[in-house]
Chain A
């Protein structure tokens, strides 16, 4: 038993922390939050240079082929920001989905470009009838073209390419994944306004689909493979949420020391202490369920229960950590420039992304054979 990070992972952590504090200051993230897509090409390029987009891409496709835990360590640091941008969507989720669904030729063509940052890829799975099971996918290839809507697509605006989950032409029980240029004729994209980050609507109007755009074997139902890609990515999303929760915890502890009321630090009041203790209990529950899920995935053990456990716990943890943060901070917490709301908004956005806690709990019931 050894629950410590390896020396390599410590190095990734320190490098990432330094980079994030230099390149993604609170002020930078606040500015990005005001732009339409939340995306900045210069910042993207600087991250690509380090090679972080290829962290999970196999070496033969131009990546560094690191372990899932290596990637998790990196994303925990990004979550502290919270660093916005299509890093997870492209560098983790799309890579894992492609590894599970694409044929050799497609992998060799697409993965190196994701690793270098030339392609920014995001999966488009959910639709107006929102949900993360196969049954919620209606968009269907008809006469070699797509017409319909994908909704709540993360990073839809900044993407250069889309991995679109659709019903296949020949067999409506079967799911195909189509790799589409995001600037194809017939595609329009819109950022969704409100209390969410980088979430978009993508409309398809007679978008032409050719067989070579369909990943893997055209006649194979790709749902299970798509889902394997999601399962491999979930713990890394959890790590991002752990990082976010950690940042909220740090902010709250600091504020409990510096904010004075009634002649003393507010953290001397036990009610304030209780809020912070709830934050750290949620944070640690998320951290350790996530680490265990990563370890099981890497050890090729039966990991479904652990992955869904980590996802349910981490999504709730980040949400509750932010709630606790606002309770501790009161007024100043809702001031945009203070920075707490960046996390609050991200915690709400990620709460449903790739399945909400209720969804993951039902999956746990299934894998426990309940």
Chain B
């Protein structure tokens, strides 16, 4: 006769770690964890513009309300600030005053607005109520916006005297932000 139930060394087995399996798991998990940690602070929707450091895409656009087309090439030699905006964009509203003040204070810099996905009549009305110190251009079919890789408004490009894009700013700017970025564009011209 025998007793059928015996104690088995199962518990001992469970607590033992297989070093090969552990090493394999770490080899897969650690690099993934490193990528995660390295990108934790990043906004997944913000993409660095590949245009920075490259020549600014050329355009020739008619200002709001008509007039001679403004082309970028004719402005070379002078730092240029191009602000993409729209009347339906609330942050652009706030930014408008800062840009106008900056344009008045910096006569050696050419400020330009490019109207993004908006009607000319509404833009004209907006500019009549809040006069601007620089021209805003109509961008039919958003060709300039596409060429500049615009994702939304407001987005602002800073171009140095040689026609190279020095910086791109996403979101509304204050006067001090504008001043700092213009200073960098001026440096780039030298």
Bind each other: no
Binding site for A on B (CB under 8 A): none
Binding site for B on A (CB under 8 A): none
